[in-house]
Amino acid sequence: MSASIVVRDVVRHYRRPRTSLLRKSPPVEAVKGVSFEVGRGERFGIVGESGSGKSTLLRLIAALDRPTSGEILIEGMDVTGRRERDLRFVRSQLQVVFQDPMGSLDPRMRVRDIVAEPLVAQGDETGGDRDAREARVLELLQAVGLSGQAADRFPHQFSGGQRQRISIARALAPRPTILLADEPVSALDVSVRAQVLNLITELVDQLGLTLVLVSHDLSVVRHTCDRVAVMCAGEIVEIGRTEQVYAAPQHPYTTQLLRAAPSMRRALRGGGTAELVGGGS
């Protein structure tokens, strides 16, 4: 099996604005030498707390940012150090769904134009044919469980869950092979979260996509992904098959993270808040 995504020794440093005239500010090491591969059709999860570098890593994979050093291959092609015009193949092969659908959907565009935008931008299979494009938009809206009438409306006329469906439809428009999702359900209500998670899993299955899902929520990754990487302070501290990592964590940070997440099962067995911080049995 060839790898869909290869990440090799990737480092990303940022510089904060200087606070002193005399000294440069120290660099922030957001990602410190990370390596892993994601196989074709695999569902890969990245978990970590805020500041762990998980979103930076996702931006690097999406070629929305460049690593300080190291290389990233998408379907065998190196994306590091390329100019934007040389990244066309990434833009059509790889699509991203972001956390906040309100922030990632243009409020002044109708849903039809939002979903069609990647098609227009990339000169797709419809070759500029209006009817073919319209048909593709309706097909996409249907695939994410929205009616055709949704195409005429604006993002603000939808609920959070429906907006995330629109983001997913847009991401699928150029027929990508890789879908990146950055906290796709953290802004959603519990009852809607399940719907959107189901939709993502179903589409990834149906279309045979490679999925990289970034989340702070361990249970979301556990439910969705085959393999998981645990990030802490810019490094991957543990990586492995999901059930293995969750059942028998090897790194102390993973253990701490798993214990700290409130669980319905443990709570009903009598686990109180002391257990979360490691005070209980």
Partner 1 sequence: MSAGPVLDVRGLSVRIGRHGLLHDLTFSIRSGERVGLIGESGSGKSLTSLALLGLLPEGARVTGSVRLAGVAHDVVGAGERAMAKVRGNDVSMVFQEPMTALNPTMRVGAQVAETILIHGGRGRRPEAGRGAVRERVVTLLDQVGLPTPAELARAYPHQLSGGQRQRVVVAIALANDPELLVCDEPTTALDVTVQAKVLDLIVRGVEARRAALLLVTHDLPVVATACERVLVMYGGRIVEAGAVAEVFTRPRHRYTEGLLGASDLESAPRGKPLSTIPGSVPPAGAFPEGCVFRTRCAHATTECAVQPPWSSADPGHGHACVHPAGVAP
Q: Closest distance between partner 1 and the C-beta of residue 44, in Å?
A: 13
Q: Closest distance between partner 1 and the C-beta of residue 43, in Å?
A: 8
What are the residues whose beta carbons fall under 8 Å from the beta carbon of 259, sequence distance 6 or more? 275, 276, 278
Nearest to 197 by CA among 165, 232, 169: 165
Give phi and psi for 212, each to the nearest 5: -120, 115
Contacts with partner 1 by CB under 8 A lie at 43, 49-50, 159-162, 189-195, 197-198, 201-202, 205, 216, 218-220, 222-226, 242-243, 256-257, 259-268, 271-277, 279
Closest CB to partner 1 among 58 and 228? 228
| Per-residue DSSP letter, 155 | G
Closest CB to partner 1 among 4 and 162? 162
Q: Closest distance between partner 1 and the C-beta of residue 262, in Å?
A: 4
Sign of the dihedral through C-alpha 78, 81, 84, 86? negative
Cα–Cα distance for residue pair 211/178, rounded to 1 Å: 6
Closest CB to partner 1 among 69 and 198? 198
Closest CB to partner 1 among 136 and 193? 193
Closest CB to partner 1 among 54 and 136? 54
Q: Closest distance between partner 1 and the C-beta of residue 99, in Å?
A: 14
Q: Closest distance between partner 1 and the C-beta of residue 261, in Å?
A: 5
Report whether 250 contacts 239 (CB < 8 A): no
Q: Closest distance between partner 1 and the C-beta of residue 280, in Å?
A: 10
Cα–Cα distance for residue pair 159/156, rounded to 1 Å: 8
Q: Closest distance between partner 1 and the C-beta of residue 242, in Å?
A: 7
CA angle 41, 104, 63 (to 5 degrees): 50
Helices (H), the chain: 54-61, 88-93, 101-104, 111-122, 130-143, 160-172, 190-207, 218-224, 242-247, 252-260, 264-268, 273-276
Which single residue is written with the structure tokens 């969705």?
224
Take residue 275 and report the two structure tokens written for it.
């257990």
